[in-house]
Structure 1
Amino acid sequence: MNAVDGDRRTVTRTTLAMGTIVNVHVSTVKPDFLIERAMGRVSQVFRDVEHNCSRFDASSELSQLCRSTGVFVPVSDMLFEAVRFAIEVAKATDGLFDPTVGQTMSRLGFNRHYLTGAVVMPDLTGRADYRDVELDEDRRQIRLAKPLLLDLGAVAKGFAIDLAAQTLQGFEGFVVDAGGDLYVSGTNHHGEAWHVGIQHPVDSRRTICNLRLTDTAICTSGNYERKSPVVATAHHIVDAKTGISPVEVVSCTAIAPYAMMADAFSTASLLLGVEHGIKLLEALGLEGLWITSDLEVHTTNQFTRYQYE
């Protein structure tokens, strides 16, 4: 689909990756061959991140790492950075957010590959947490001190968005949208900041808030997106300490310089709840919006600067 305004046009490409729909919009006067080349690189980025960081693919680099307990394993820079960042978020939340939650997610029924339907259900016993993941920064190696299953779902998609955004630098404006998690850059073909709506948690046809954004990332974590097929009260966001899904907050949106940061801290801030979530984001210099189960809206102090009616 192409939208033309003078010499500048917006070109959109859509693909399926990492269990979601990825839409890339490029607004530019540059020639088509440059746009198509960039779109191809974006698709490759998402394939690479999925291959390296998916726990649903037995052949992925992450799956191979999780089968190698007790020894340091050399890994790609991509996997190392995703795990390293997830561990840093775990430390910042005292383990409430924890990438070792994969086994709990599997028990809740989040254990099927979105394309093949193949079930990934490793036979693990015992407890583990982020402190059982050891990183060797110099050699880019990871050691799992105990049998565990890493889940990078709260960082990998944001990481892919960031890497895709890097490949699109040089265009006058672009949006990388992976299932509603976005990085926006420059302006649209009207020369305006990009307009972004935050979905209403009850009525998906409505927005609860409208924003103008540029050169930033925005990600939302919501308990209405993926419900557990085996536990009625559970969804895909789980308190790593208790194994229970929070119900007081139905969604949290975070605005950050990078999508991996917005992705992870929207999840962490939903788990923390409104009061502690606001403290965390404001301490990090990020902005956020929380919607509670009774549809009350809470924001960080400076969030309203992005809003418009």
Structure 2
Amino acid sequence: MKKAIVVFFLIMLEVSIGFSQQIFKEQTTQMGSVFGFVLVENDAAQAQHYFQLVTNEIERIENLISEWRPHTQISQVNQNAGIRPVKVNREVFELMKRAIHYSVLTEGAFDVSIAALDKVWLFDGSMEQLPPKDVIRNSVQHVGYQHIILDSINSTIFLEKKGMKIGFGSIGKGYAADKGRELLESLGVVGGIVNASGDLSAWGTQPDKQPWRIGVSNPFKPHKMIKVLKLRDGAVATSGSNEKFAEIGGKRYSHIINPKTGWPSVGLTSVTVSGPSAEFANFLSTSIMVLGKKEGRKLVKKFPGYKAILVEDK
């Protein structure tokens, strides 16, 4: 995924020279990932001001939804699993509501409660044999979106079972990219990209009025591209196992786990989805990795505004 970001920047810079407006870039590490910000602006000082504002926005989101920071509302929900509902602000509540909707759409192939999964798979190259089947089966004992109870009137989230845990690792960066773009557009920034380690949201055009060109790298040949996507207003998200997987008995097992079974996804090495929302594209790319080629294509066809590029393990 990091290599795909490099390809994206190279394509962009080739067509950004010689115009009165300029492309300004900034990079930060937030939400455990590298965020890249690209703005079309005339003034460097103004661009730096915008960079600070969007960085603050990503930090605000992380302080709402991170399951790793103990003071966040999501951490409080997890700490009170099986004990009591926790009141959250409306933004967090609506994000959780959408996440449960995604789970229903995929019949559990997507599930934010997978954060409670027992880690029985290792993806550091050390695994030489499959874990015992009963261990895999038991690894999902605390996973199940059906046990996440929402109270819209009181704006509370309750995890019914002790040991449950929720996390937005599958859609959080896409959501942050969308919110960063929303903020910058509201401030009058005419064009740019908020890139959350490959889950990105773009708007406007480059200074030459050409669309943004996003290179989708080949996971088996990182310096080559499968496709170049042209975006004016849209998003791209990628999920894949090309950098993190276990190979056992000649078969590749992805680090993306099926929440219902505890087994890693197989058959696909990467999925890139493009469409209006980075959050939704993020959800689709993750779900397609779990569902596999046939069922994954069925899923994306339900949403005409989105397109998917699937790369098989072969």
TM-score of the aligned structures, taking structure 1 as reference length: 0.83
Identity of aligned residues (%): 25
Q: Would the aligned equivalents of 2:273 and 2:308 in 1 still touch at CA under 8 Å?
A: yes
Between Structure 1 and Structure 2, how many residues are aligned? 278
After superposition, the Cα gap between the structure-2 partners of 1:91 and 1:245, relative to the gap in structure 1 and judged at 3 Å, is same
Q: Do residues 243 (structure 1) and 256 (structure 2) align?
A: no
**Map of 1:299 onto structure 2:** none
After superposition, the Cα gap between the structure-2 partners of 1:227 and 1:136, relative to the gap in structure 1 and judged at 3 Å, is same
SS of residue paired to 1:206: strand
Q: Would the aligned equivalents of 2:170 and 2:283 in 1 still touch at CA under 8 Å?
A: yes
Q: Would the aligned equivalents of 1:27 and 1:174 in 2 still touch at CA under 8 Å?
A: yes
After superposition, the Cα gap between the structure-2 partners of 1:40 and 1:77, relative to the gap in structure 1 and judged at 3 Å, is farther
Q: Would the aligned equivalents of 1:250 and 1:292 in 2 still touch at CA under 8 Å?
A: yes
Alignment match of 1:89 (pick from 89, 96, 102)? 102
Alpha-carbon shift at residue 71 of structure 1 (Å): 1.9
**Map of 1:40 onto structure 2:** 52
Alignment RMSD, CA only?
2.4
Alpha-carbon shift at residue 105 of structure 1 (Å): 6.1
Alignment match of 2:309 (pick from 283, 289, 303)? 289
Deviation by residue 1:214-247 (Cα, 9 ceiling, x = unmatched): 100110100124447xxx9654311001111112
SS of residue paired to 2:216: strand
**Distance between the aligned counterparts of 1:79 and 1:279, measured in 2?**
29
SS of residue paired to 1:90: helix
* Equivalent residue letter for 1:145: E
Q: Would the aligned equivalents of 2:214 and 2:230 in 1 still touch at CA under 8 Å?
A: yes
**Map of 2:166 onto structure 1:** 150
SS of residue paired to 1:284: coil
**Distance between the aligned counterparts of 1:194 and 1:135, measured in 2?**
39
After superposition, the Cα gap between the structure-2 partners of 1:108 and 1:74, relative to the gap in structure 1 and judged at 3 Å, is farther
TM-score of the aligned structures, taking structure 2 as reference length: 0.81
Q: Would the aligned equivalents of 1:182 and 1:218 in 2 still touch at CA under 8 Å?
A: yes
After superposition, the Cα gap between the structure-2 partners of 1:26 and 1:62, relative to the gap in structure 1 and judged at 3 Å, is same
Of 268-277 and 192-201, the range deviating more from structure 2: 268-277
**Distance between the aligned counterparts of 1:94 and 1:107, measured in 2?**
23
* Equivalent residue letter for 2:182: Q
Q: Would the aligned equivalents of 2:143 and 2:259 in 1 still touch at CA under 8 Å?
A: no
After superposition, the Cα gap between the structure-2 partners of 1:37 and 1:220, relative to the gap in structure 1 and judged at 3 Å, is same
**Distance between the aligned counterparts of 2:291 and 2:116, measured in 1?**
21
Alpha-carbon shift at residue 4 of structure 1 (Å): 5.1
Deviation by residue 1:90-120 (Cα, 9 ceiling, x = unmatched): 100101111111122655469xxxxxxxxxx
Q: Would the aligned equivalents of 1:128 and 1:146 in 2 still touch at CA under 8 Å?
A: no
Per chain length, whose mean CA-contact separation is higher, i.e. which structure has more relative contact order (CA < 8 Å, sep 6+)?
2
Alignment match of 2:144 (pick from 129, 139, 143)? 129
SS of residue paired to 2:103: helix
Of 68-77 and 9-18, the range deviating more from structure 2: 68-77
**Distance between the aligned counterparts of 1:212 and 1:224, measured in 2?**
24
After superposition, the Cα gap between the structure-2 partners of 1:151 and 1:105, relative to the gap in structure 1 and judged at 3 Å, is farther
Q: Would the aligned equivalents of 2:206 and 2:212 in 1 still touch at CA under 8 Å?
A: yes
**Map of 1:17 onto structure 2:** 30
Give the alignment of 1:1-309 within 5 angstroms: 5-29=18-42, 31-69=43-81, 70-104=83-117, 106-108=119-121, 126-147=141-162, 148-169=164-185, 170-227=188-245, 234-285=253-304, 286-294=306-314
* Equivalent residue letter for 2:53: R
Question: Where do 5+ consecutive residues of structure 1 fail to align?
Answer: 111-123, 295-309
Q: Would the aligned equivalents of 1:82 and 1:152 in 2 still touch at CA under 8 Å?
A: no
**Distance between the aligned counterparts of 1:260 and 1:105, measured in 2?**
26
After superposition, the Cα gap between the structure-2 partners of 1:105 and 1:214, relative to the gap in structure 1 and judged at 3 Å, is farther
SS of residue paired to 1:50: helix
Q: Would the aligned equivalents of 2:174 and 2:278 in 1 still touch at CA under 8 Å?
A: yes
**Distance between the aligned counterparts of 1:175 and 1:109, measured in 2?**
34
**Distance between the aligned counterparts of 2:64 and 2:119, measured in 1?**
19
**Map of 2:3 onto structure 1:** none
**Distance between the aligned counterparts of 1:4 and 1:289, measured in 2?**
30
**Map of 2:126 onto structure 1:** none
**Map of 1:120 onto structure 2:** none
Alpha-carbon shift at residue 185 of structure 1 (Å): 0.7
